[in-house]
Amino acid sequence: MLDIRLFRNELEQVRAGLSRRGESSESVDAVVRLDDEVRRINTERDELRSRIRALSNEVGQLMRDGLKDEAGDLQAESRELGAQEKQLDAASDAAAHELRELLLRLPNLPSDDAPDGSTEHDNVVARVENYDPGSYADHQRVPHWETGEALGILDVERGVKMSGSMFVMYRKAGAAMVRALCQLALDRNADLYEEVRPPTLVRADTMVSTGHLPKFADDAYHLERDDLYAIPTAEVPLTSLARDEILDHAALPARYMAHTSCFRREAGSAGKDTRGLLRVHEFDKVELLAYTTAEQAPALHREILDRAEALIRDLGLAYRILDLCAGDLGNSSRRTFDIEVYAPGVDRWLEVSSVSWFGDYQARRANIRHRSAEGKGTEVCHTLNGSALAVPRVWAGIVETHRQPDGSVAVPEVLQPYLRGLTRIG
């Protein structure tokens, strides 16, 4: 969440940043009001505590001097002040809780480098690679769900029968390709990123640390009996690896990767195209995440983007890089680059990776700090993450792009070793 000191010392900068994200000025005013109230109450309470300590010393001296009546009068005054102190303490806790809840719901400040804009239509196309709109033949203009059904590698009907709408089932070479894509992504990043297999179910405070709670509770799968949440991305548990810890400066940047299933209710999907793999509730993904210092963050942002892009390029897919505008950034992000794959069968650009820099927004929520380079005090870490490879839409892009005139699908060369040497799905 945002540092409360920004509201005290750089209020106009905060107003301007949140305005770029479409946040109302009333939220900023409420934070300022509550912060003033907490500090006023705490000052009054601390003055009472100081008076109570002074009275205690006076009572002790009077008792030693044998002046019990005078000591009794001061003890009565001390008890009365003590009751007032408890009331102020309770009022401080209530105001501080309200302030924290408000801060938890406020989005991050966008980077100065993030483009202005309010919706996805204002995102800036930074680059387009391997895309020639006139190069796609009719046999590639077939939706992946039709090809998948014809080849017996995607079974949407039975997935829905088992689990409901927006659940799918992969079969045969289609199931093997899910595994192959994830293993490829893990192997490509094993040189620098420590592999982790975190729990798929996490506590509420783990979801709060990344900003998924409380604001996006409607998109989460919640197991009420155990008060656990199914993770929407491995970013959630990976961010909490170092929660409430102080990291050694020399250990940064710290890099992690994880292959997990991900679960999203997609509460806002009404009216959107959900056919095939365009929007599903459960999917596999390999996530990259890093803890850094503020100075290291820009280089790590570029590194994660380059790694995610290299995988898409080597799978032979057309793609583009979007620089997300301030109004379309994720709630926790300061700067995000999206990778979108062109899928000729549905004639759409499909988002397959978001690579984001969060500044200290998440680490402040998770209380992740590092010792300063000079060894004096600590600083809040920065976090970054990106999808090395998210399966469903990449799978769709491969099936549509590499579909052959006879209806089979050519397997990209980089995937063949992970598919027992299979070169064609037919």
Which CATH number do you get for residue 140?
A: 3.30.930.10
Written as one letter, the residue type at 340 is E
What are the pLDDT digits (tens) for 354-372? 999 999 999 999 999 999 8
217, 283: one domain: yes
306-332: b (≥16 Cβ within 10 Å) or e: ebbbebbeebbbbbbbbbbbbbbbbbb
Residue 254 in this model has a pLDDT that exceeds 80: yes
- Domains in the chain, number: 2
Average pLDDT over residues 32-55: 95
With bands split at pLDDT 50, 70 and 90, how would you rate the model's confidence at 375?
A: confident
Q: What is the pLDDT of residue 370?
A: 97
281, 205: one domain: yes
Average pLDDT over residues 132-144: 97
Q: Domain range for residue 289?
A: 120-425
331, 380: one domain: yes
277, 349: one domain: yes
How far apart (Å, rounded) are the C-alpha atoms in residues 143 and 211? 35
How far apart (Å, rounded) are the C-alpha atoms in residues 140 and 406? 11
With bands split at pLDDT 50, 70 and 90, how would you rate the model's confidence at 264?
A: very high
The domain boundary, picked from 78, 105, 132, lies at 105
257, 126: one domain: yes
Structure tokens belonging to residue 344: 């000729």
In a domain, 115, yes or no: no
154, 295: one domain: yes
173, 210: one domain: yes
With bands split at pLDDT 50, 70 and 90, how would you rate the model's confidence at 271?
A: confident
Share of the chain above pLDDT 90, in %: 90
| Cα 77 from chain centroid (whole Å) | 52
91, 232: one domain: no
Average pLDDT over residues 388-399: 98
413, 279: one domain: yes
* Cα-based distances in Å from 336 to 22, 155, 229, 324: 17, 34, 25, 6
User: What is the residue whose two structure tokens read 């990449």?
Assistant: 394
In a domain, 113, yes or no: no
In a domain, 130, yes or no: yes
With bands split at pLDDT 50, 70 and 90, how would you rate the model's confidence at 60?
A: confident
In a domain, 110, yes or no: no
Task: Using alpha carbons, select from 356, 331, 239 the residue that is nearest to residue 2.
Answer: 331
How far apart (Å, rounded) are the C-alpha atoms in residues 284 and 259? 7
Residue 89 in this model has a pLDDT that exceeds 80: yes
- Mean pLDDT of all residues in the chain? 96
